[in-house]
Amino acid sequence: MKLFDRKNSCSICLFGQVDEAVLLAASDLKRDLCRISGQKEGFPLLFDLEKSDSIVIKTVPDGRTEAYTVTVSEEGATVCGSDVLGTVFGIYAFSHRVLGVHPMHRFIDLFPEEREAMRSEAVVFSSPERPVRFRGWFVNDEDLLSELQYSGATRGLDYRYYQNVMHPEVLDMVMETALRLEYNLIIPATLLNIDLPAEEKLVECAYRRGLYLSQHHIEPMGVSGFTAENYMKEHGGGSPSFISNRKGMEDLWRYYAQKWAKYADRVVWQLGLRGKKDEAVWKTDPSAPLSMEARGGIISDAIQTQHRILCEVLGHSDFYSTTTLWNEGSLLYGQGHLTLPEGTVPILADFGIDQMFGEDMFSTPKEEGRAYGVYYHTSFWALGPHLVEGCRPEKMAYSYKIAAEKGCLYYSMLNISNVRPVHFSISMNARMLASPAKGDGAAAMEEFDREIFGEQGNLISDLRRRFYDSFADFGEELAAEFARNWFFFYHKYPPLPFIRNAATDGQLTWLGKYALLEKQHCGVDYATKDRLPALAESEKKLAALDRDMAEMKGQLPENRKLYFEQFLHHQTRHLLHLTRWCMACLEMVDHALPREDRLRFGKAACGHLETLLEERKILEQNGWEFWHRGDQKMDLPLRLAETRAYLEKL
């Protein structure tokens, strides 16, 4: 099939009743073709009209879910989906497999080189089997995305974070990328309040794209603790407590159920009862009972009440619902203190610090006939990956294989944070969802690197392995201690072929912060010089890898150098600078050292962060000039200010 030459371009023909999600995907395909061809115009979208050398897009329901077939012949191409999402996935599959457009290209600036002409050989391919029904992204801790492009809308929360509402165009880029990777579900923002027009726009964007929608686990029924507080103040409804103000909370849940009901055919409702800032309800509600059994009873009552309200508002009980067993939820469910409505899917979470599932995955009895799902972190603020990759593919594959064996993969929600820094981990997850029982992280990594670097892919994969091998090992006991303090089940695994508690950029940032504060973190004696041997070993490995990556860069083609510099070499140097900063901070705060030594270490600590902040500007190119403007979670400029302040005091 001839797609285009200097004078001509193919048409994109849409047949039948065209859903807006299909039209948007077809428009993205047109944009892809225009970029590859260098044509600003061309590739017209035609409706119910077929021309030779055209790409025909149609939806033909056949009882299958999200299925498609793509056929390319000498005469033209056809993308046929079994439903709206099937057609959307088929369009993006054509773009990827026929045009060579990488699904992640909008976040990593990798796009096929411009061509004067392009033809496609005859080919037929169909959608894969999908063992996971709901495959979701949670845009959580999205500080960089929220300020990449100002929407002009703010939330006015009594909280430092999440003040800016993400611009709909930024979210649309996220959703397009999710669909290109064949995810079908999204939680579009943290602490989203659909009652505010600017935030409902985010919900509308996802709905228009054909995605299913859900809510954060601290936002049951779409209501966070902040939303509940503000609602009660505005409506004179009393305290936001289900225990002491049951009627007020029922009215609140009903109000928000009616708001979300506008999108109900694509909502996966979140049920539960949690505190204000992602913490147990008894930490923010003084009327909560003291025993775990009674606490579980209150939360069970709230969930049953929410389910009843949804049945009344929607007029039926045939809807999707989940409850995420994060933190105390795991404990209560594991002890048998939580009872759930029929059909509600319990979601078992990994421990974000080490990206491994807890004891509840292994010991909690699974009810016959009930579906189960998982919530997994490619990013985790504060003690996990955030600005740098940190979830090793083999670890993710190991975890998802266990989830598959335990029958917990009806649903998978992936915490993606700002997408761009952890795009590799996200891509690994997409591959693993296609065959989670296989659990081959190494093969997924090698496939990814071959797709980008061709024959040099194996060399890149070797460097990636060394990258993950270079993380400081902070030991299982430290992670277990954090788990105990956070009401999280911890599972003792047999010896693992990877570092379980790897010191990701989150761990390093918080280690340096609490060293400067000279106090414990979450009741854990964390920032001590006991960490120095592991950090020193990591620094040595990262420094060697830094040198080898600098040499490797010269062997790469020009159109792959920037990606290599931004997402492999810079991430290595980012960790190297953070590691050196941590080591210097731990020495600077050591009162047993002579003052002149402490001053020397303090100056070095400042220098390492100054270098990091300068070097990370490499990520601020090609439309990403404001990429770090919203750095509020790790907040490296603040860490530098704190380091300078300590040094000045010293």
CA distance 431 to 242: 42
522: pLDDT strictly greater than 90? no
Whether residues 272 and 166 share a domain: the answer is yes
Q: What is the CATH number of the domain that holds 94?
A: 3.30.379.10
pLDDT at 630: 96
Residue 534 located in a structural domain: yes
- 109 and 176 in a common domain: no
Asked if residue 178 has a cis previous peptide bond (ω within 30° of 0), the answer is no
Would you state the pLDDT for residue 334?
Answer: 79
282, 344: one domain? yes
Spatial distance between the Cα atoms of 177 and 419, rounded to a whole number of angstroms = 10
Picking from 83, 102, 126, the residue at the C-terminal end of a domain is 126
**Length of the chain, in residues:** 650
Residue 279 burial by Cβ neighbours in a 10 Å radius (0-12, 13-18, 19+): middle
Q: What is the CATH number of the domain that holds 419?
A: 3.20.20.520
Q: How far apart are CA 88 and CA 82, in angstroms?
A: 10
The confidence band for 53, taking pLDDT boundaries of 50, 70 and 90, is: confident
Residue 80, pLDDT score: 97
Same domain for 52 and 22 = yes
- Which of 126, 149, 167 delimits the end of a domain? 126
Domain total for the chain?
A: 3
Inside any domain, residue 509: yes
Residue 460 covered by a domain:
no
Do 139 and 117 sit in the same domain of this protein? no
pLDDT in tens, 448-488: 999 999 999 999 999 999 999 999 999 999 999 998 887 77
- Closest listed residue to residue 269, CA positions, set 308, 314, 222, 301: 222
Domain hosting residue 568, numbered range: 466-649
- Does 158 map to a domain? yes
Q: What is the pLDDT of residues 162-175, one digit of tens each?
A: 999 999 999 999 99
- Look at residue 192 and tell me if it is in a domain: yes
pLDDT at 486: 78
- Please choose, from the candidates 45, 34, 165, 180, the residue with its C-alpha nearest in 3D space to the C-alpha of residue 106: 180
Residue that is last in its domain, among 451, 484, 519 = 451
Q: Are residues 349 and 241 in the same domain?
A: yes
Residue-level pLDDT at 341: 97
Which DSSP string do the residues of 107-159 spell out, in sequence order? HHT--PPP-S-EE---EEEEPPP-S-SEEEEE--S-HHHHHHSEEEEE---SS
Whether residue 230 sits in one domain with residue 358: yes
* Cβ atoms < 10 Å from Cβ of 312: 11
Domain match, 118 and 142 both: no
Nearest one of 396, 399, 453 to 567, comparing CA atoms: 453
Instruction: Give domain status of residue 276, yes or no.
Output: yes
Closest CA to 146 of 92, 199, 105: 199
287 and 366 co-located in one domain:
yes
Question: What average pLDDT does the segment 402-429 reach?
Answer: 97
* Higher-pLDDT residue of 279, 99: 99
- 3-state SS class at 324: strand
72 within domain boundaries: yes
Q: Which helix (H) or strand (E) holds 185?
A: strand 185-187
Residue 618: the pLDDT is 98
What number is the average pLDDT over the span 226-252? 92
157 pLDDT band, cuts 50/70/90, is: confident
Asked if 69 and 123 count as a contact pair (C-beta separation under 8 A), the reply is no
The overall average pLDDT reported for the chain is 95
Q: What is the pLDDT of residues 590-613, one digit of tens each?
A: 999 999 999 999 999 999 999 999
Relative orientation angle of helices 457-469 and 441-453, to the nearest 10 degrees: 130
pLDDT tens column, 181-196: 999 999 999 999 999 9
Q: Do 96 and 18 sit in the same domain of this protein?
A: yes
Residue 417 pLDDT: 97
Per-residue pLDDT, 185 = 98
**Percent above pLDDT 90 for the chain:** 88
Q: Are residues 440 and 529 in the same domain?
A: no
Report whether 267 contacts 213 (CB < 8 A).
yes
- Concatenate the DSSP letters of all residues of 251-308 into one string: HHHHHHHHHHGGGGGGBEEE-----TTSS-GGGT-TTS-SSHHHHHHHHHHHHHHHHH
Question: CA dihedral in degrees (202, 203, 208, 212; nearest 10)?
Answer: 130
Crossing angle of helices 197-208 and 20-37, in 10° steps, is 80
What are 305-329's pLDDT values in tens digits? 999 999 999 999 999 999 998 888 8
Give 3-state DSSP helix, strand, coil % of the chain, rounded to 5: 50, 15, 40
CB 321 within 8 A of CB 220: no
DSSP state of 210: T
Residues 538 and 396 in one domain: no
CB-CB contact of 200 with 231 (8 Å): no
Asked if the structure places residue 459 within a domain, the reply is: no
The closest alpha carbon to 340, from 312, 369, 360, belongs to 369
Three-state SS at 21: helix
